[in-house]
C-alpha cells in the first residue's frame, strides 16, 4: 500500500515543484486538482458516513419507537442483548454458514466452468452467454422463480421431473420432496449459488485468459503434464483472482436480503443478520437493538473487507507497475 | 476483454506426438466441449423454464409431471399487466435512470481527478471510495429512514435516486478511473501542445476513447439500481413502490398464480438482461471494480 501511495506523491511533488517558480504557485494547482473530486466525495460522506455515525450512536441508546418516553443512554445494553439473544446468535451463525457455503461452492463451480470455457470448442460464445444469464435475473425474481416454479412440492419443476423420470420406469409412486420445509437453508443456498457461480466464473475466466500463454506453451513443450501446468503455473497465477472473486462475492452475499426474505421470510432457522435487522427495525421498531445488530454486521464486514481491500490493492499495484 | 476471449488458446494438438495420442486428445477435447454445453444448458434451464411457464395457462403451468408441450398462451402476461404494474415499473425506471445520470455526473470528474490529473494521495481516496461500498447498506437503514420521515421524503422516489447514487458511486469511480488511465498521456500532451484547451481536449480527445467505458459503467449502475429491494421495501409504500417491491407483494393471491409470477419475473428481469448482455464485455471489469480487465 505504502509503495503505491509514495509513487504518485513523488510525481505530484515534482509537478508542484515545476509550477512553484511562477504564477499562483502549488497551492492553487492542488486545489484545481481537488475540485473535480469534491462533489463526489462530499456526496458520499453525507450519504454513507453520517448515517453510520448515527447508527453507532443509536446502538448505545435505549430507543424503541413504541416507547418514545423511555429514550436514553443505554451503554452496552443493546450489544449485550444482541450477543446473548439466542435468535440473534443463530442469525450470526446462519449468516456465516450461508455466506461461506455460497461463496465456496460457487467459487469451486466457477473455477471448473472457467477452465472448461478457457478451451476452444464449438459454440463457446453461446455457452458463455448462457452461463452469464442467471446473474442477470433480478434477485427477487430469481428467488420467486426458485420458490414457486422449482421448489413447490405440488407442481414445482424438481418434483415434476422426479414424477416424469419415475414414470419412465413405470412407477406411479415417485418420491416427492418438500424442498423448502425439509432443507430451508440449502434451498436458499442453491438459488444463490445458481446466481453467483456466473460471477465467479467471469472473474476467473478473465484471470485464466491473462495467463502468459507463451510460458505455458514452453512448459508444455518441455514435457510438463496438464496437471503440472495447472498446479504450478495456472493455479498460482489464479490465486489472487480466486481471492478477489471470493471476497467480493462474500461482501455481496453477507448483505443478502432478497433470497431470505422471499424464499422463507426468515423462517425455519434461515434468518440471517440483514433480515434480522430489517425485522427488528421494521416490525419491532426497536431502534437501539437494530442499530447494535447493524454495528455487529459492520464489524464482521470490516474484517472481510480488510482482506478484500488488500487483495484489490495487490492487483492494483501490479497493474500500475 | 473481447479480444482476449476471441483469441484461440493453444490448440491441444500442437505437440507432434503419434497419431493415436493426438486422436485421444481430440476426443477428450470434444468431450469437455460437450460437458461445457451440458453445464451451460443446466444453468440456463431455470430461465428457459420460467419463460415457458410464463407462456402457459395457469392450469398447464401447475401440473405434475410438467406439461412441456402444452399450447402457448399469453394469459399469464395479461393477468400480470391486469394488476397494473406500470406505476412500479415506471418508478424503477425513474430511480435507475436518474441515479445513473447523477452517478456519472459525479463519478467522471472524480475519476479524472484520480487518474489524468491526480490529486495527492489519490490511492487513499480511491480506497476510501471502495470502503464505503463495503459497509453493509443495512447498517445505515435506520438513520436514513428517520431522516426521511423527518423531512417528509418517505415514499418518495427521489430519496431512492439519492441512495442508489451513493450505492453505485464507488463502483462507478473505480470503473471510470480504470478506463481513464487507458488514455495515453502522449495524446493529452500533444493536444495541449497544439493549443487545445481543457474543454476541447476532453471533448475531442478523451471522450471518444472512454465513451464505451462510460456506457458500460452506466449499464452496470442501472442494473444494481433496478435490482435493489431492501431500501425500496423499507422506504416506499404505494406512490414510490419499485418493481422488485411490487414483485414481493405479488404472491399473496389465492389459487393458481405460477404463470402470472413467471410472466412478472420475465418482464421485470428483461431490462437487466438486455443491459447485461449489452455490457457483457465490460461486465467483469465493472463487477471486479476495474481490478480485472
Where helices occur in B114-156 by DSSP H, the ranges are 122-134, 141-151
- Cβ distance of A298 and B135 shorter than 8 Å: yes
Q: Residue B2: pLDDT above 50?
A: no
A-facing residues of B in 184-243 (CB < 8 A) are 223, 226-227, 229-230, 233-234, 243
Share of chain B above pLDDT 90, in %: 25
> What is the structure's pLDDT at B1?
40
The verdict on residue A235 lying in a domain is yes
Q: In this structure, what is the dihedral angle of CA atoms A112, A118, A120, A126, given to the nearest 10 degrees?
A: 80
B-facing residues of A in 72-111 (CB < 8 A) are none
- In the beta sheet, which residues pair with residue A64? A286
Q: Which of A61-75, A94-108, A155-169, B23-37 has the highest mean pLDDT?
A: A94-108
CA distance B286 to B217: 7
Band (pLDDT 50/70/90 cuts) for residue B164 is very high
Parallel, antiparallel, or unpaired for β A72-73 and A61-62? antiparallel
Q: Which of A236-240, A285-289, B39-43, B180-184 has the highest mean pLDDT?
A: B39-43
Kind plus residue range of the DSSP H or E element containing A181: helix A179-182
- Length in residues, chain B: 293
The verdict on residue A33 lying in a domain is no
The verdict on residue A264 lying in a domain is yes
Q: Residue B73: pLDDT above 50?
A: yes
> What is the structure's pLDDT at A318?
67
> What is the structure's pLDDT at A21?
40
Looking at per-residue pLDDT, the higher value among B291 and B16 belongs to: B291
Residues A184-218 have pLDDT tens digits of 999 999 999 999 999 999 889 988 888 887 888 88
ipTM above 0.90, yes or no: no
> What is the structure's pLDDT at B95?
93
Parent domain of A225: 53-320
* CB neighbour class for B193 (10 Å; exposed up to 12, middle 13-18, buried from 19): exposed
Q: Residue B293: pLDDT above 70?
A: no
CATH for A273: 1.10.3720.10
> What is the structure's pLDDT at A3?
38
The verdict on residue A75 lying in a domain is yes
- Whole-prediction pTM value? 0.83
CA-to-CA dists, residue A119 to A124, A203, B101, B154, angstroms: 8, 16, 39, 52
- In the beta sheet, which residues pair with residue A73? A61
What is the nearest CA distance from A231 to chain B, expressed in angstroms? 18
> What is the structure's pLDDT at A163?
87
Nearest to A299 by CA among A56, A64, A46: A56
List the single residue in B35, B114, B136 with the smallest CB-CB distance to A274.
Answer: B136
CA-to-CA dists, residue A172 to A36, B63, B69, angstroms: 71, 15, 21
> What is the structure's pLDDT at A145?
93
> What is the structure's pLDDT at A319?
61
- Those residues whose C-beta lies under 8 Å from the C-beta of residue A316, and which sit 6 or more positions away, are A4, B123, B291
Contact A201, A223 (CB under 8 A): no
B85-287: which CATH architecture?
Answer: Orthogonal Bundle (1.10)
Task: Tell me the mean pLDDT in the region B186-200.
Answer: 79
Q: Which of A22-36, B25-39, B182-196 has the highest mean pLDDT?
A: B25-39
Looking at per-residue pLDDT, the higher value among B185 and A146 belongs to: A146
Q: Kindly provide the b/e burial profile for residues A255-275, where b requires at least 16 CB atoms within 10 angstroms of the residue's own CB.
A: bbbbbbbbbbebebebbbbbb
Domain boundaries along the sequence of chain B:
17-77, 85-287
Domains held by chain A: number: 1
> What is the structure's pLDDT at A103?
94
> A48 and chain B: CB distance < 8 Å anywhere?
yes
What is the C-alpha end-to-end distance of chain B, expressed in Å? 6
Residues of B in contact with A210 (CB under 8 A): 4, 292-293
Amino acid at each position: 500500500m505504502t509503495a503505491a501511495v509514495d509513487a504518485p506523491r513523488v510525481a505530484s511533488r515534482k509537478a508542484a515543484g515545476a509550477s512553484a517558480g511562477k504564477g499562483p504557485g502549488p497551492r492553487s494547482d492542488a486545489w484545481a486538482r481537488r475540485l473535480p473530486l469534491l462533489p463526489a466525495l462530499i456526496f458520499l460522506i453525507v450519504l454513507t458516513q453520517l448515517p453510520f455515525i448515527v447508527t453507532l450512536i443509536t446502538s448505545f441508546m435505549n430507543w424503541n419507537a413504541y416507547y418514545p418516553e423511555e429514550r436514553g443512554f443505554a451503554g452496552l445494553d443493546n450489544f449485550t442483548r444482541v450477543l446473548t439473544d439466542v435468535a440473534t446468535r443463530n442469525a450470526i451463525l446462519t449468516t456465516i454458514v450461508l455466506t461461506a457455503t455460497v461463496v465456496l461452492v460457487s467459487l469451486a463451480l466457477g473455477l471448473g466452468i472457467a477452465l472448461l470455457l478457457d478451451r476452444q470448442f464449438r459454440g463457446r460464445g453461446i455457452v458463455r452467454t448462457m452461463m452469464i444469464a442467471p446473474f442477470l435475473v433480478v434477485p427477487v425474481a430469481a428467488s420467486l422463480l426458485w420458490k414457486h416454479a422449482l421448489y413447490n412440492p405440488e407442481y414445482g419443476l424438481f418434483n415434476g421431473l422426479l414424477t416424469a423420470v419415475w414414470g419412465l420406469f413405470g412407477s406411479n409412486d415417485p418420491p416427492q420432496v418438500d424442498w423448502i420445509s425439509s432443507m430451508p437453508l440449502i434451498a436458499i443456498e442453491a438459488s444463490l449459488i445458481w446466481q453467483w457461480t456466473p460471477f465467479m466464473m467471469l472473474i476467473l475466466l478473465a484471470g485464466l485468459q491473462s495467463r502468459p500463454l507463451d510460458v505455458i506453451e514452453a512448459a508444455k513443450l518441455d514435457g510438463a503434464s496438464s496437471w503440472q501446468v495447472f498446479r504450478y503455473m495456472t493455479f498460482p497465477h489464479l490465486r489472487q483472482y480466486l481471492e478477489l472473486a471470493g471476497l467480493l462475492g462474500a461482501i455481496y452475499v453477507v448483505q443478502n436480503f432478497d433470497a431470505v426474505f422471499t424464499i422463507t421470510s426468515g423462517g425455519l432457522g434461515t434468518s440471517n443478520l440483514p433480515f434480522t435487522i430489517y425485522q427488528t427495525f421494521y416490525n419491532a421498531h426497536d431502534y437501539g437493538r437494530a442499530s447494535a445488530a447493524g454495528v455487529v454486521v459492520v464489524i464482521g464486514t470490516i474484517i472481510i473487507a480488510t482482506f478484500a481491500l488488500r487483495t484489490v490493492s495487490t492487483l492494483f499495484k501490479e497493474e500500475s507497475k | 476483454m473481447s479480444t482476449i476471449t476471441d483469441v484461440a488458446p493453444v490448440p491441444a494438438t500442437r505437440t507432434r506426438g503419434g497419431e493415436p495420442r493426438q486422436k485421444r486428445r481430440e476426443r477428450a477435447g470434444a468431450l469437455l466441449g460437450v460437458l461445457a454445453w451440458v453445464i451451460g444448458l443446466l444453468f440456463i434451464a431455470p430461465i428457459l423454464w420460467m419463460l415457458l411457464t410464463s407462456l402457459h395457462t395457469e392450469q398447464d403451468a401447475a401440473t405434475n409431471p410438467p406439461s412441456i408441450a402444452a399450447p402457448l398462451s399469453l394469459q399469464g402476461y395479461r393477468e400480470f399487466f391486469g394488476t397494473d404494474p406500470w406505476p412500479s415499473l415506471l418508478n424503477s425506471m425513474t430511480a435507475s435512470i436518474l441515479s445513473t445520470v447523477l452517478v456519472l455526473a459525479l463519478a467522471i470528474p472524480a475519476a479524472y481527478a484520480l487518474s489524468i490529473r491526480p490529486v495527492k494521495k489519490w490511492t487513499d481516496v480511491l480506497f476510501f471510495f471502495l470502503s464505503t461500498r463495503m459497509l453493509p447498506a443495512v447498517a445505515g437503514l435506520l438513520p436514513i429512514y428517520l431522516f426521511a420521515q423527518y423531512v417528509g421524503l418517505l415514499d418518495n422516489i427521489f430519496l431512492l435516486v439519492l441512495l442508489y447514487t451513493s450505492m453505485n458511486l464507488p463502483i462507478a469511480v473505480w470503473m471510470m478511473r480504470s478506463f481513464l488511465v487507458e488514455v495515453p498521456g502522449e495524446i493529452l500532451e500533444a493536444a495541449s501542445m497544439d493549443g487545445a484547451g481543457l474543454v476541447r481536449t476532453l471533448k475531442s480527445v478523451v471522450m471518444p476513447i472512454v465513451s464505451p467505458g462510460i456506457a458500460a459503467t452506466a449499464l452496470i449502475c442501472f442494473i444494481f439500481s433496478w435490482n435493489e429491494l431492501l431500501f425500496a421495501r423499507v422506504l416506499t409504500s404505494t406512490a414510490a413502490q419499485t418493481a422488485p417491491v411490487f414483485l414481493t407483494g405479488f404472491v399473496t393471491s389465492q389459487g393458481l398464480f405460477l404463470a402470472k409470477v413467471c410472466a412478472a419475473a420475465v418482464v421485470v428481469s428483461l431490462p437487466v438482461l438486455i443491459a447485461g448482455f449489452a455490457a457483457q464485455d465490460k461486465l467483469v471489469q465493472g463487477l471486479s471494480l476495474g481490478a480485472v480487465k
